């Protein structure tokens, strides 16, 4: 009978779905904080190594405004795939900025005692741009 196999597969997927939901919520929470210029709260979603690198929420906020302006006040956010690369988890996110331009970013996520935190962000080539 195939039904038990279906339920077993469904049951085993719950941890992965919960993990994905927690990761996406962490990113969304940080984006919400950025939208309100609440860099102190946004900084709490950064990993210990990111916090060590920037030292203060003010320095972190300055880096975001200068280096990642599309995440400061996004017009739209779409969570794409969660994937593993080199033993690390990356959440792909498409962000539309206030000018309507789309940006695809990969958020490297790590699990800490405080839950999922963002350990880095890389900007990927723009959608529709090919070699």
- Provide the CATH number for the domain around residue 54: 3.10.450.50
pLDDT score of 13: 44
Q: How many separate domains does the chain show?
A: 1
Per-residue tokens: 85 = 């690369």
Evaluate whether residue 130 is within a structural domain: no
pLDDT score of 6: 54
Q: What does the chain look like in DSSP terms, one character per residue?
A: --HHHHHHHHHHHHHHHHHHHHHHHHHHHHHHHHHTT-HHHHHHTB-HHHHHHH-SHHHHHHHHHHH-HHHHS-SEEEEEEEEEETTEEEEEEEEE-TTS-EEEEEEEEEEETTEEEEEEEEEEPPTT---
Evaluate whether residue 47 is within a structural domain: yes
Residues of the chain with pLDDT under 70: 1-18, 127-131
pLDDT score of 126: 73
Evaluate whether residue 131 is within a structural domain: no
Q: Return the bridge partners of 75, or none.
A: none
Backbone torsions φ then ψ of 115, nearest 5 degrees: 100, -165
Evaluate whether residue 48 is within a structural domain: yes
pLDDT score of 19: 82
Which residue range forms the structural domain that includes residue 70?
3-124
Q: pLDDT tens digit string along 35-69?
A: 999 999 999 999 999 999 999 999 999 999 999 99
């Amino acid at each position: 009978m195939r039904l038990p196999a279906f339920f077993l597969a469904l049951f085993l997927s719950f941890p992965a779905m919960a993990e994905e939901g927690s990761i996406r919520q962490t990113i969304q929470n940080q984006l919400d904080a950025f939208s309100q210029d609440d860099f102190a709260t946004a900084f709490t979603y950064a990993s210990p190594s990111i916090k060590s690198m920037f030292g203060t929420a003010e320095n972190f906020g300055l880096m975001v405004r200068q280096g990642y302006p599309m995440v400061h006040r996004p017009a739209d956010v779409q969570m794409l795939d969660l994937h593993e690369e080199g033993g690390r988890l990356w959440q792909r996110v498409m962000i539309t900025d206030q000018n309507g331009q789309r940006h695809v970013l990969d958020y490297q996520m790590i699990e800490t005692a405080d839950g999922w935190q963002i350990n880095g962000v890389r900007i990927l080539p723009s959608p529709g741009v090919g070699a």
